[in-house]
Amino acid sequence: MLMVRFLTAMLIIVAASTGAFGQEASSNAPTPLSELLTEASQNNSQITAADYAWQAAKQVPRQVSTLPDPTFTYQQFSVGSPRPFAGYTNNNFAYIGIGASQELPYPGKLRLRGEVAKRQADVMDMQLGATTASVADAVKVDYIHLAYLQEALGILRENERVLDQLIKDATARYQVGQGLQADVLQAQVERTKILREITSNNEQRGDTEADLKALLHRDQNSPDIVAEALKENSLQRSSDDLLGLVKESNPQIQVDASSVNQANAALASAKREGKPDFGLAYMWQQNDRKYPDYYMFTFNIRLPRRARTHAEVAEAAEKLAQSQETLDAHLQQQLAQVKRGYVTVRNDEELLKEYREGLIPQSDAAYRSTLNAYASNRDVLTHVLLYFVNVLNMKLDEAQVLADHETTLAHLETLTGATLR
């Protein structure tokens, strides 16, 4: 009988010490999210590849805006025989010629081609920014999920310890004839459920760790990453503010806007391509000294075919219209995502308040009251387990809502380019 009272007292003390269900301790120090974002921006292969693509695109404008390569010519003209220099000394048609030629595109063509290439490089620059933002968003989501899993594991471990104490108490009561074996079995079933949740948590943490290390370009065998504890970051911006930022700072919209500028430049260039091009050539032909030399100047005009140039202009115009519609379509999508995210964040904030100020304190009070009644032999273990599981689920639900809230904020940061966390 004294043993039963001792175990019951210990059970109440353990339950009282687990009100916060703290995060499980780790041997590794938490790494701030800001450090991982910096590491990803420096080491992520997608970002590096996009940067190389941009650097390569910046070299194109100089290539396409430079005059075509000049041509230098050497001729040897024989008369009377295919042998080299045949007739050179006895026929004034035989000669040695040296010349050069240069193609001259219509004025403005090279400049417009360079402008098209420059605009394309701007698109690649914006794509680099979009890739960087996408990787940062993925790092944030994985980090928040990892922090949630760590918090959930701490909750599960604390509840496992409380449940172990409940099982000991129920077993002691059963041994002295004050409890039922069914109570012990039910407590063991609940403990098995917690162990199953812990196993699932470990698997999810392994998957998240692997994804996060891949984004950071870390070796998969490197030490585990420990996230800082999640905390709620209230959204301080209005819906109108966030929607306005989409047009200015959204990475995808910036890419689309650059594509529209590139399509405009391509249309202007296509129109200019219908103008004629020119060619200049000059050759000096030397005969034997007893014959006069020849000097030949050639001027060429290349007239583009109208059917082809009209088709090129029409193609460029259609691509411009496509780019404009793509910009508008993506803008509407991004605005809709921001609006949905804003509503989700506000609802999550209200839900978190309900959990912290109402649901969890009330559930915890009901659990403690039932536990005290059970310790005084005024209630059964089944009711204790019922309220125990209810508090556990409330804590896990609160942690999940907090993770969802912070994840949505991270997405809103990517969509608007603003700092919200």
Which stretch of DSSP H or E encloses residue 336?
helix 306-354
User: Which is nearest to 206 in space by CA: 260, 253, 150, 163?
Assistant: 150
What type of residue is 357?
A: E
What pTM, to 2 d.p., does this model score? 0.84
Cα–Cα distance, 253 to 382 (Å, whole number): 58
Q: How far apart are CA 258 and CA 330, in angstroms?
A: 13
pLDDT at 49: 96
Token pair, residue 89, equals 């000394």
Q: What is the pLDDT of residue 3?
A: 39
Could you tell me how far CA 255 lies from the centroid of its own chain? 14
pLDDT at 261: 96
Whether the CB-CB separation of 115 and 265 falls below 8 Å is answered with yes
**The two three-digit tokens of residue 331, written as one number:** 């803008």
3-state secondary structure of 91: coil
Cβ atoms of residues 399 and 148 within 8 Å: yes
Query: Cα separation of 100 and 194, whole Å?
Result: 86
Residue 279 neighbours by CB under 8 Å, 6+ apart: 101, 102, 103, 104, 298, 299, 300, 301, 302
Angle at 126 between CA 256 and CA 138, to 5 degrees: 100
Expressed in angstroms, the distance from the first to the final Cα of the chain is 55
Residue with tokens 């998969």: 220
Residue 145, SS3?
Answer: helix
Gyration radius from the chain CA atoms: 38
Which segments within 238-357 are labelled E, that is strand? 277-286, 294-302
Looking at residue 178, what is its pLDDT?
Answer: 66
Question: Which of 313, 331, 333 is closest to 263 using CA atoms?
Answer: 313
Q: What is the DSSP string of 185-218?
A: HHHHHHHHHHHHHHHHHHHHHHHHHHHHHHHHT-
Work out the angle between the directed axes of helices 33-43 and 109-175 (0-180°, nearest 10): 140
- Please give the structure tokens belonging to residue 415: 């969509």
Residues in Cβ contact with 220 at an 8 Å cutoff, skipping those fewer than 6 apart? 210, 213, 214
| Both tokens assigned to 4 | 């039963």
Give the position of tokens 């394309």: 120
Instruction: In whole angstroms, give the CA distance from residue 53 to residue 223.
Output: 33
CA distance 210 to 204: 10
Q: What is the pLDDT of residue 290?
A: 82
**pLDDT for the residue numbered 25:** 42
DSSP reduced 3-state for 371:
helix
> Of the candidates 28, 254, 250, 41, which has an alpha carbon nearest to the alpha carbon of residue 139?
41
Task: Give me the tens of pLDDT residue by residue for the chain, a chain 421 residues long.
Answer: 433 443 444 444 444 444 434 444 455 789 999 999 999 999 999 999 999 999 999 999 999 999 999 999 999 888 888 888 888 788 888 889 999 999 999 999 999 999 999 999 999 999 999 999 999 999 999 999 999 999 999 988 888 887 778 778 777 776 666 666 776 777 788 788 888 989 999 999 999 999 999 999 999 999 999 999 999 999 999 999 999 999 889 999 999 999 999 999 999 999 999 999 999 999 999 888 888 889 999 999 999 999 999 999 999 999 999 999 999 999 999 999 999 999 999 999 999 999 998 898 888 888 888 888 877 777 777 777 788 888 888 899 999 999 999 999 999 999 998 888 7
| Length, in residues, of the chain | 421
CATH value of 2-416 in 1.20.1600.10, 3.10.105.10, 1.10.357.10, 3.30.420.40: 1.20.1600.10
